[in-house]
Structure 1
């Protein structure tokens, strides 16, 4: 069962990352659309890719990854670092959805500099995930303050930073 879960997990992550890397290339085509009909077809294709391919792949990647955590009991420091980059990938996914909603309004275009920045950032995030999964580097989190290793430390830290929650 673990082999099949890993297979689905790797396939889903591959489709998810590939989609997030390719979608900004489709956004660039928005500036070169000659008429309204072609614009609607491009918008439909971009939405299809995001809603039917990339988002379900993201869901499957997270769901199978969560199942694998409990089946394999992976609680190593490298895994924590990998999850940080998966969280970044989720953020990229959300921003991608917001871009799709806004991009096809009248007068909107996707600048080339943004295409380059997002594509490079997504590729680097994907490579970081691969680095931690395939390399499983020995990490030491002892450099963090001791409070970070206690349950509830993040909550206390965040509440201390928020001005409306301080006593």
Structure 2
């Protein structure tokens, strides 16, 4: 059971990451100088790539990962940080979907900087997720990164008279 979930999770993550790299490159390659026929092919390719490939891969990744967390009983602090980075990847995924939708509604070439910005955001997120999974840092090392002000209570002077 755990081996099957790991396989689904890794295969889904690899597919999702590939789509998160390919979609902004497709969007960036889209230029305002193409004709109607090429524009229709571009819209079909990006729509099918997002709706038919990237989103199902993301859902498989998240579902298999959730199942893996509970079946393997892994509740380590590094996992919570990893899930935060995965949540950021989901936000970038949604942003790519928004850009794909806008590509059919707005003037061509008007939003060309967005895909490269998205790519520069999602690549470090992928590297951080992979790094956390491979290194699996211990809780003490993670707590050392947090400043002491966040780990100790503050004394409130709100009740004192001026």
State the TM-score, normalizing by the size of structure 1: 0.81
User: 2:127: which partner in 1?
Assistant: 127
SS for the counterpart of 2:31 is helix
Alignment partners' CA distance in 2, 1:29 and 1:88:
25
User: 1:39: which partner in 2?
Assistant: 39
Show the 5 A alignment for 1:82-101. 82-101=82-101
User: 1:77: which partner in 2?
Assistant: 77
Q: Which has the higher helix share?
A: 1
C-alpha contact 1:16 1:54 (8 A) present in aligned 2? yes
Alignment partners' CA distance in 1, 2:69 and 2:33:
45
C-alpha contact 2:32 2:108 (8 A) present in aligned 1? no
User: 2:10: which partner in 1?
Assistant: 10
Unaligned runs of 5+ in 2: 154-162
Q: By how many angstroms is 1:107 displaced?
A: 1.1
State the TM-score, normalizing by the size of structure 2: 0.83
Matched length:
146
CA RMSD of aligned residues (A): 1.7
User: 2:107: which partner in 1?
Assistant: 107
Larger Cα Rg: Structure 1 or Structure 2?
A: 2
Listed one character per residue, the Cα deviations across residues 39-94 of structure 1 (whole Å, up to 9, x for unaligned) are 01110000000011110000000000000111011111111110110010110111
SS for the counterpart of 1:44 is helix
SS for the counterpart of 1:95 is helix
User: 2:28: which partner in 1?
Assistant: 28
